[in-house]
Amino acid sequence: MSGIENAGDVLYDLAKNPSKLAQIDYMAQRSPKMAQSQLQSLSKSIADNKQAQVDAKGQNIAEPLDRLQPSRVAGSNGKMSVRDLRSQPWLRG
């Protein structure tokens, strides 16, 4: 961890994801160079994500629109059904 620029962020991420910590711990026991490589990769990923967030804030892109709500009005195909015809006042005798 001594050679990593954002060691605090890496430790925070490892504390949130115990499976990553267990994987790096296992690698440290078997192959310390591989574990160091994984820590460097994690550090770079965190730095890239932070930079992407900063870049996204500066672009002033509008939020996506809300989802459309289905209409409660029933549609029809234009043809009158028997129920429609019975309710027409001009057909009553």
Q: Which DSSP string corresponds to the chain? A: -TT-TTHHHHHHHHHH-HHHHHHHHHHHHH-HHHHHHHHHHHHHHHHHHHHHHHHHHTT-PPPPPPPPPPPSSPP--S---HHHHHT-GGG--
- For 18-41, what is each residue's pLDDT tens digit? 999 999 999 999 999 999 999 999
Which residue has 């690698």 as its token pair? 27
Give the separation between CA 21 and CA 14, rounded to whole angstroms.
Answer: 5
Q: Which of 20, 47, 45, 48 is nearest to 35 (CA)?
A: 20
- For 30-86, what is each residue's pLDDT tens digit? 999 999 999 999 999 999 999 999 888 878 777 788 888 777 776 677 888 888 888
